[in-house]
Structure 1
Amino acid sequence: MSAERLAIARLGAQGDGIADTPRGQVFVPFAAPGDVVNAGVEKNRGALIAVLEPSPDRVTPPCPHFGPDHENAGCGGCALQHVADATYRDWKRDLVVAALESRGIRAEVAPLVACAPHARRRVVFAARRTDKGAVLGFNRASSHHIVAIETCVVASERINQMLPALRRLATAVAVGREAFRLSVLDAAPGLDLAAEAPFKLTEPDRLRIISAVRAEAGVARLTFNGEILIEKQPPELGFGRVSVNPPPGGFVQASREAETVMGDLVTDHLKKSKRVADLFSGAGTFALRLAEASHVHAVEADGASLAALDRAARHAQGIKPVSVEKRDLFRRPLMASELKPYQGLVFDPPRAGAETQAQEIARSTIPRLAAVSCNPLTLARDLEILLKSGYRLTSVTPIDQFLWSAHVEVVALLERPKR
């Protein structure tokens, strides 16, 4: 590795600063566009040593754990706290623009919907047993080393206030030496905790953990590898006007505020549809909102999430009927013939996208579609399929659900012109 003076020209797709050199691009984490830096370079990667001439776009990070890897920093959770808001937001919107253009799609992309600090209600911590108790934090980038955190400017205020309690509970859970994950969901009336670990618990371990949870106010439930050890009160989330008890460790949108923006975009676009299909529905993020105006058929492969949606819909007042179907849409997409009853459709697949399902939607006559994705590249691929079949884009909205990261949520709305 050699130390070099580099001028940072722009940000890359992962948030690294890019320097153009005679031998090609060099990627430098924690560098801002316009910086002149001293970096240790090996091949096309640079490790920031010092900022020699700071860019006007460089700002002071709000988190004490953010920065180049050293003993007390570099938790691996954020990539861009050092970049001014306007530059950061333009860069994140451009991720969506570039993904669409890579598929030949030229569309008007709305300004990024901003996300405030402390908006994340779902956080996944790494933990490991030590001689002094459990260390709780995040894995340093490209490393298994867990950086213990004292605060997180992305996580909700409630999660931050509960960090000492979470460390105590992680210590109770850590009966093995292996690292494990502790998913934390800020729900009502308390935190929903789900531990996933490579070790097993004995019956005395279970009793000890249950006792530890009982002693911590503000914790509603704790599960270990899918087993509910204690549920003091059922944790609940509100999807529109309907309360849902999500399955332990199940997928929910990371930010309540971002979910509301996405929900409003989707429901406004599909509100005149008498019957709507919600594909990859999860526990009902969109289905239960849409049911305020439409009959909804929700399709999801995860049985626990689908059961939570079904229970909530059956007990809800003032919504239209919601039917559910457990189905792996990657292996068995809804065929065009099965889509005939619907006037509206929303799909929100995992990061891999919904290529096979998009091909069947493209063969349908559904007038209005809403495509939701956390991966602009696979979204662009799926949109290309739909556009080639005659659909047209009416709007594309990037949403900063994952603040200071290289991830961006997108809602794309489409219509099929009347023949």
Structure 2
Amino acid sequence: MLTIESLTHLGMGRASDGQSLLPRVLPGEEVDVAQDGTVRIVTPSVDRVAAPCRHFKSCGGCAMQHATDAFVADWKQDIVVKAVQARGLDTDFREMATSPTQSRRRAKLSGRRTKKGAMVGFHTRASDTLVQVPGCQLLTPALIASFPALEALTALACSRKGEIDLTVTEADLGPDVLVETDKDLTPQLRVELAALANQYGLSRLVWNDEPVVMINPPKQDFGGNGVVPPPGAFLQATKHGEATLVAAVNEIARTASRIVDLFAGCGTFSLPLAKRVAVHAVEGEAAMLNALDRGWREGRQLRRVTTETRDLFRRPLEADELRHFDAAVIDPPRAGAEAQIATLAASEINTIAMVSCNPVTFARDARTLVDAGFAMPWLQVVDQFRWSPHVEVVASFTRK
């Protein structure tokens, strides 16, 4: 008999033997572990609930459906609290924002051929076993409705023993699908794929790096402006999460007259900000900036948005380049933005809105800003990845 003492930041339970890390358990529970690793709950926690998704036990997409929403929210908030405190930082935590069920508008699924046709789904935890998830409680109904099209694509794109990746994104005029496969795109296959896209109403179909067909531009709405992201480009996981982050960034930069948007992507923040202020968008991927620029040129009543393709890890904007701006927005990848944060700290910018998907690198970079004379008056945790260990943060920094 083991007792679960706490959870790791990945949701694994630390057992009283000091060695075992067990999935789908909660602090305080007493459990038996069979020789094959199967965990039996002997004394359940008061925070344990029946999983809302029928695929939870077999699918590896979710880690925390066995706990109440309140427990999961507290656990995720505590992950950020500990990361911030580990750097000796203190701030006010705003109420956490959690995206609703069935709101994930983008997913990367796997496809495999079967004797009867094909199957599409997620892998089980730490396994190559594929599980179909027609009742998934994370994905939007539109993504669920695209499964027949993805299965048909798998039958065409996958070898008998292989597996393919399918990135599908919800768009207003039909799913936007990127197929990643080792199979060659032949002229005959191109014809078959075009017919399939028409049959299932796909807006765009891309085979590896090669566009096959675009029936309707798969536009995403950034502040009322339509943008067609490159295939597979980064997109905030839910519309709810994106709206929460955009509102927070707008609030932080509300008094700015000229803003630099670092790691700007396709314009998640640049275009909403451009409704009232000029923005300079900097991003390492030229294709994403091209999409942003087209969205800006086709937009209405927007202030000027300029773009600059630049690797901000190797060549961050220096303090003298930042002197033209009075506020910065920065939303780096999981590695954070150590070099760029250092030049922001040395600049004359007084207002920074920082968005992060990694509490650890966020806390590191926040420490640099605070040491340079910035205050961090508030922070908000945004949970777009419901029931998973992933969490996002947005915080305000103002120079004292």
Query: TM-score interval w.r.t. the shorter chain?
Result: over 0.9
2:40 is matched with which residue? Answer: 50
- 2:270 matched residue in structure 1: 287
User: Structure 2, unaligned stretches of length 5 or more?
Assistant: none
Q: Which runs of 5+ in 1 are unaligned?
A: 68-72
Residues 278 and 287 in structure 1, CA contact (< 8 A), matched pair in contact too: yes
User: Which residue in the other structure is 2:310 paired with?
Assistant: 327
Letter in 2 for 1:397: Q
> Segments of 4+ in structure 1 off by > 6 A?
none
Q: 1:15 aligned to 2, 6, 11, which one?
A: 11
1:61 alignment counterpart? 51
Deviations 1:256-315 (A, max 9, x none): 110000000001211221100000000000000111111100001111111000001111
Give, in whole Å, the separation in 2 of the partners of 1:377 and 1:133.
44
Tell me the amino acid that sits aligned with residue 88 of structure 1.
Answer: V
Q: Matched residue pairs, number? A: 400
Query: Of 371, 376, 382, which residue of structure 2 is paired with 1:393?
Result: 376
Counterparts of 1:331 and 1:134, CA distance in 2 = 44
Q: Which residue of 1 aligns with 2:237?
A: 254
Identify which of structures 1 and 2 has the higher relative contact order when contacts are C-alpha pairs closer than 8 Å and 6+ apart: 2
* 1:342 partnered with 2:336: no
TM-superposed deviation, 1:252: 0.7
**Identity within the alignment, %:** 39
Q: Cα offset for 1:25?
A: 4.4
Q: Which moves more between the two structures, 381-390 or 205-214?
A: 205-214
8 Å CA contact 1:137, 1:146 repeated in 2: yes
On the 8 A contact 1:115/1:258 being kept in 2, the answer is yes
- Give 1:70's aligned residue: none
Q: Shift of the alpha carbon at 1:144?
A: 2.2
SS, match of residue 293 in structure 2: helix
- Aligned partner of residue 16 in structure 2, secondary structure: strand
In terms of mean alpha carbon deviation, does 150-159 or 200-209 score higher?
A: 200-209
Distance 2:220 2:29 in 1: 43
Within 5 Å, which residues of 2 pair with 1:13-412? 13-21=9-17, 24-40=18-34, 47-67=37-57, 73=58, 75-175=59-159, 177-217=161-201, 219-412=202-395
* 1:319-360 deviation line (CA, Å, top 9, x unaligned): 100000000101110001100010110010111110011000
Give the aligned residue type for 2:381.
P
- Work out whether residues 239 and 288 of structure 1, in 8 Å CA contact, stay in contact via their aligned partners in 2: yes
Moved more, 166-175 or 364-373: 166-175
TM-score (norm 1): 0.92
164-173 vs 374-383, which moves further = 164-173
2: CA distance, partners of 1:7 / 1:158:
42
SS in 2 for 1:359: helix
Distance in 1 of aligned mates of 2:306 and 2:360 = 31
Seen in structure 2, the aligned counterparts of structure 1 residues 168 and 342 have a Cα distance that, compared at 3 Å, is: same
Cα contact 2:106–2:143 (8 A) shared by 1? no
Which secondary structure state, in structure 1, belongs to the residue aligned with residue 200 of structure 2?
coil
In 2, distance between residues paired with 1:204 and 1:92? 49
- Residue 176 to residue 373, structure 1, CA distance change in 2 (3 Å): farther
What SS does structure 2 have at the residue aligned with 1:212?
Answer: helix
**TM-score (normalised: structure 2):** 0.97
TM-fit CA distance, 1:210: 1.4
Helix, strand or coil at the partner of 1:135: strand
Provide the rounded CA distance (Å) in 1 between the counterparts of 2:154 and 2:380. 38
- For residues 118 and 112 of structure 2, the distance between their equivalents in structure 1, rounded to whole angstroms, comes to 5
Q: Which moved more, 1:240-249 or 1:273-282?
A: 240-249
Q: Decide whether aligned partners of structure 1 residues 406 and 34 sit closer, same or farther in structure 2, where only a CA change above 3 A counts.
A: same
Q: CA deviation at 1:7?
A: 1.4
SS of the equivalent of 2:92 reads coil
- Answer yes or no: is the 8 Å Cα contact 1:271–1:290 preserved in 2: no
Q: Secondary structure at the match of 1:414?
A: strand
Report the Cα distance in structure 1 between the residues aligned to 2:279 and 2:14, rounded to whole angstroms: 47
Taking a change above 3 Å as real, the CA distance of residues 102 and 25 of structure 1, as seen in their structure-2 partners, is farther
